[in-house]
Amino acid sequence: MIPIVRINLDDELASRLDARTAQLAQANAGTATARAAWRTAREEKRGIRDHLIRMAPGVQRCMYCGDSLGTDIDHFQPIREFPGGTFLWRNHLLACSYCNSNAKRDQFPRDADGTPLLIDPTRDDPANHLRLILRTGVYRALTPGGEETIRVFGLNRGDLRRGRELAFATRRAVLCEADALLALGRTDEAAWYLHALADEPHATVLHAMLRSASMPGAAEVLGRDVLAALTNPALLAELRPGPASAAPGRTSA
């Protein structure tokens, strides 16, 4: 998982979502009513999905696993628990069908004080809760929230571990190649390689590599050639490891 910048909605969509939220509040809607309203909200869902796709890492990747195509609008706090949040923009994330329908479903664990435990990448920095072991692709929990996020979404299942492990290998190769091209003055070619990394699955790997580059023992973790690449200002200037930045417009409640 990586931090996601929640972009602002256009005024028309924000107004439509605000109106839907007000209707649910006035009706004191329960789960069934809220779900029925969501099923019929075709235009609103289309607009929400379009904005989420612009925010997503890689090419429309799931905001939880970072691997599979983000096909679903996930209600971070489920409709069953929070009917009034059905149309709240801040409650929507892009998820793959596995993370949304097979893994998370209506799960929303809380601690003993009632504080939600799952990581919302638009509000929390996942790196404060999860540590990625680059050479194995395994996530280690740093907090109870990290532990529950790993459990609920199955973030250490075999295919994801292997995918992150392989992504580390390919990113090392690309970074070294780009660094060599920059040394030869072939800036356009280097930039093409580096920009392509932003569209790859498992964006969390590159984020973890960038964090590791400033930590003790970085040469042992990354390799000396990779560390040299990640401390090259010319390379870093071309590297775009994250999704879209905030865009103008309104933020719906």
Q: What is the pLDDT of residue 247?
A: 38
Average pLDDT over residues 22-36: 95
Confidence band, pLDDT 50/70/90 cuts, at residue 58: confident
CA distance 169 to 112: 41
Q: Are strands 130-133 and 92-95 parallel, antiparallel or unpaired?
A: unpaired
The overall average pLDDT reported for the chain is 93
Pull the structure tokens for residue 101: 């329908």
Please report, for residues 12, 13, 244, the alpha-carbon distance to residue 42 in angstroms, rounded to integers and kept in the order given: 15, 12, 25
Q: How much is the average pLDDT of 221-239?
A: 94
> What's the token pair of residue 89?
């923009």
Query: pTM score, two decimals?
Result: 0.89
Region 157-165: mean pLDDT is 97
In the predicted structure, residue 245 carries a pLDDT above the cut 50 = no
**Cβ(243)–Cβ(1) below 8 Å:** no
Q: How far apart are CA 162 and CA 120, in angstroms?
A: 24
Residue 241 confidence class, pLDDT cut points 50, 70, 90? low
Q: Report which secondary-structure segment, H or E, holds 26.
A: helix 11-26
CB 63 within 8 A of CB 95: yes
- For residue 242, which amino acid is it? G
- Give the phi and the psi of residue 244 in degrees, each rounded to 5: -60, 150
| 168 closest CA partner among 198, 127, 136 | 136
In this prediction, residue 198 carries a pLDDT of: 82
Looking at residues 79-88, what average pLDDT do you find? 96
Look at strands 92-95 and 138-141 and give their pairing. Answer: unpaired
Q: What is the phi/psi pair of residue 74, to 5°?
A: -95, 135
Vertex 195 angle, CA 71 and 235, to 5°:
140
What confidence score (pLDDT) does residue 211 get? 93
